[in-house]
Amino acid sequence: MEEIEQTSSKQLRSLGQNGIVQPLLTDLYQITMAYAYWKSGKTKDHAVFDLFFRKNPFQGEFTIFGGLEECLKFLEKFHYSASDIEYLKETLPPSIESDFYNFLNTVSAEDVRLYAIPEGSIAFPRVPLMRIEGPLIIVQLLETTLLTLVNYASLMSTNAARYRMAAGNMKLFEFGLRRAQGPDGGLSASKYSYIGGFDGTSNVLAGKLFNIPVKGTHAHAYITSFNGFSELRNTCLEPKGGGPQRDLLQLALGHRSNLVPTFSVVESEASDGELAAFISFAIAFPDGFMTLVDTYDVKRYSCSSNKLFNVTPNTQSHNEYRFNLIPMPNTKRGQNNCSGSGLLNFCAVALALNDLGYRAIGIRLDSGDLAYLSNVARQFFYEISEKYNLPWFANLTIMASNDINEETILSLNEQGHKINCFGIGTHLVTCQRQPSLGGVYKLVELNSQPRIKLSQDVGKVTMPGRKDAYRLYGDSGHALVDLIQRSVEPPPELNQKVLCRHPFEESKRAYVIPTRVEKLLTLYWENGKIVQELPNLQQIKERVKQSLKTLRPDIKRTLNPTPYKVAVSDKLYTFLHELWLKSAPIGELS
Ligand SMILES: Nc1ncnc2c1ncn2[C@@H]1O[C@H](COP(=O)(O)OP(=O)(O)OP(=O)(O)O)[C@@H](O)[C@H]1O
Ligand SMILES: O=P(O)(O)OC[C@H]1O[C@H](OP(=O)(O)OP(=O)(O)O)[C@H](O)[C@@H]1O
Ligand SMILES: O=C(O)c1cccnc1
Ligand SMILES: [Mg+2]
């Protein structure tokens, strides 16, 4: 068996990489080209490729670079196994000379050099995320796998960072595995959403492999699996401080009756099946009591009562949990057409747990008007905290889930809500607003000669030659511009005027006097080894946070953000345009 095939989950953990990332995880054309290069005697040619994207995702003006560590781990194990070569022999045309397979057998990333911007940094269109140099055939063979590793990772990290910006300090958990693009998509989503700013995932394997906090509540099935109290095998629980067990159900029923007059709810309409489920869950997790309260009805109102809460906080009140009392909105779940009251049952069990010295965690809302219901729930918690003199009760967690996306969070923020935690699946992991980042890998230099790819679309013309990139910062500490220049040029100097030019529009140029100059591309791989100490996930996550702070707010805003400037040096501008003219054939009009 091959080494890669044998990789155990323990090894996976230390590699931090999925076992399917291997040299054959590529497009056939890379191997076809390798043969044609080899046959045309190009084995000694030396190439430079840039890996970059042309447009920021999600109609935004920034991207978070993710996937570098996985690219480096891929270089470490880049060699074709005997079974890979066997497969290629069976698959490629019989005309392929057998010496080519001997050549493939010797292939490794030993002679490759990889420069990159640090993982977790903000990145912008056209600025290389990576520069890959080495034997043409080898660096060509790396294209697809590197793009696979960078495109989704960066898209996902960016998506998560955007959710984080929308959610402020609220807790964010990734719940997307069941809706992800297959098992590998699910794993990557968990990893890169954590990097981008999420606090944890429900994906247990991601937790094990990447050391990400794993979190979760329970599904509606748990609640609906109970019909009534008779199904409870046990209703007793030992108090937290020790001592004789007490009947949690009886305590909860007592509290439920007591809560009825206070909150104008109809006890007979609260679901006993739901209460039974809550009791059993509380007995299983007395210190982690967090339940779904929307299985039947979050809050069942007495029809005779007008004591219903509005969604908008009463700004006259100094108490943030007080609300105007007006009729509730006509939401699906708000209509008085189904029985049950999840909030009432939750509070009854939480108070029963409190009698035994345990503190409940909170609730999850998974349907209905989340702003409204969170306000109602928080008001309940507040009233109880006052009535029972339990200050912590007012701060119980209110988690919301159900098709949440960036816009929902922003809209909820506008409406006013009391959610302090989101569980987000589908829209996060599938990157519904933009399902792919268009990262590309382009040849820019061969045997020290620049290469340019022309296009009718100016934006698609590549920047020729080996280049470096610098981020120039201004007085405020904010990044002003990313400047790309030829590697042979001296770097921009602190406090010295630098001419920054738009790559294609001659008239667009500006002088910048940087107060800080950051060299963006640094060497990560040389002589078959990773030559930098790699940050762990936590450090990459921190870099995302710090990196975003260097971006002006107008560049980060959701609606019509200001584009960040990406410029070229005067020398690169001239170089690019001269080569463009030289390479573009002059047409004839007839
Ligand atoms: N206050 C709110 N403002 C904006 N969007 C909301 C608000 N409350 C909920 N949403 C979103 O509205 C959608 C409601 O989904 P939907 O219409 O399918 O109803 P539902 O609550 O899931 O009901 P059911 O489970 O019975 O189908 C979800 O995407 C949810 O995230
Ligand atoms: O809504 P998402 O952002 O994808 O978040 C994950 C969803 O997964 C679960 O739903 P479940 O699979 O039980 O299905 P349902 O809620 O759609 O019925 C959970 O209750 C969330 O609603
Ligand atoms: O733990 C949860 O609440 C959860 C996990 C996955 C999907 N939906 C919810
Ligand atoms: Mg749902």
Tell how far CA 135 is from the center of its chain: 34
Cα separation, 227 vs 348, in Å, equals 18
Report yes or no: 582 and 498 within 8 Å, Cβ to Cβ: no
Q: Is the distance from CB of 146 to CB of 139 less than 8 angstroms?
A: no
Contact of 65 with 154, CB cutoff 8 Å: yes
**Domain residue limits, the chain:** 42-166+434-583, 217-419
Of all residues in the chain, what percent carry a pLDDT higher than 90? 84
The encoded tokens of residue 372 equal 């409204």
Task: Please enumerate in sequence order all residues whose Cβ is within 8 A of that of 324, keeping only pairs 6 or more positions apart, or say none.
Answer: 309, 310, 312, 314
Residue 7 pLDDT more than 90?
Answer: no
Measuring from each residue's beta carbon to the nearest atom of ligand 3, which residues come in under 6 Å? Answer: 175, 202, 216-217, 364, 401, 423, 425
Q: Does position 310 have pLDDT exceeding 90, yes or no? A: no
Q: What band does 17 get if pLDDT is binned at 50, 70 and 90?
A: low
Token pair of 204, please?
A: 């247990």
Per-residue confidence (pLDDT) for residue 589, from 0 to 100: 86
Measured by CA distance, the residue closest to atom 5 of ligand 2 is 425
The chain-wide mean pLDDT, for the chain, equals 91
Overall average pLDDT of the 23-39 stretch: 98
Does residue 321 carry a pLDDT above 80?
no
Tell me which DSSP letter residue 107 carries.
Answer: -
What's the pLDDT score for residue 322?
38
| Nearest-CA residue for atom 26 of ligand 1 | 367
Percent of the chain beyond pLDDT 70?
90
Q: How many residues does the chain have?
A: 590
CA 215 – ligand 2 centroid, Å? 15
Residues lining ligand 2, judged by CB closer than 6 Å?
175, 178-179, 219, 366, 401-404, 423-427
Which is more confident, 20 or 545? 545
Residue range 124-129: average pLDDT? Answer: 98
Q: What is the CATH number of domain 217-419?
A: 3.20.20
For the segment 339-357, the average pLDDT, to the nearest whole number, is 91
Q: 551 alpha carbon to ligand 3 midpoint, in Å?
A: 33
Return the exposure string of 147-171: e unless at least 16 CB atoms fall within 10 Å of the residue's CB, then b: bbbbbbbbbbbbbbbbbbbbbeebb
Inform me whether the pLDDT recorded for 328 exceeds 80.
Answer: no
Pick among 3.40.50.150, 3.40.50.720, 3.20.140.10, 3.40.50.1380: CATH of 42-166+434-583: 3.20.140.10
Q: What pLDDT, on the 0 to 100 scale, is given for residue 551? A: 98
Tens of pLDDT along 234-255?
Answer: 999 999 999 999 999 999 999 9
Check: CB of residue 355 under 8 Å from CB of residue 246.
yes
pTM, 2 dp? 0.92
Q: What atom of ligand 3 comes closest to residue 425's alpha carbon?
A: 7
Q: What is the pLDDT of residue 338?
A: 34
Rg (CA), the chain: 30
Judged on CB neighbours under 10 Å (0-12, 13-18, 19+), 514 is buried
* Segment 103-126, tens digit of pLDDT: 999 999 999 999 999 999 999 999
Confidence at 457, pLDDT banded by 50, 70, 90: confident
The lowest-confidence range among 286-295, 311-320, 405-414, 526-535 is 311-320
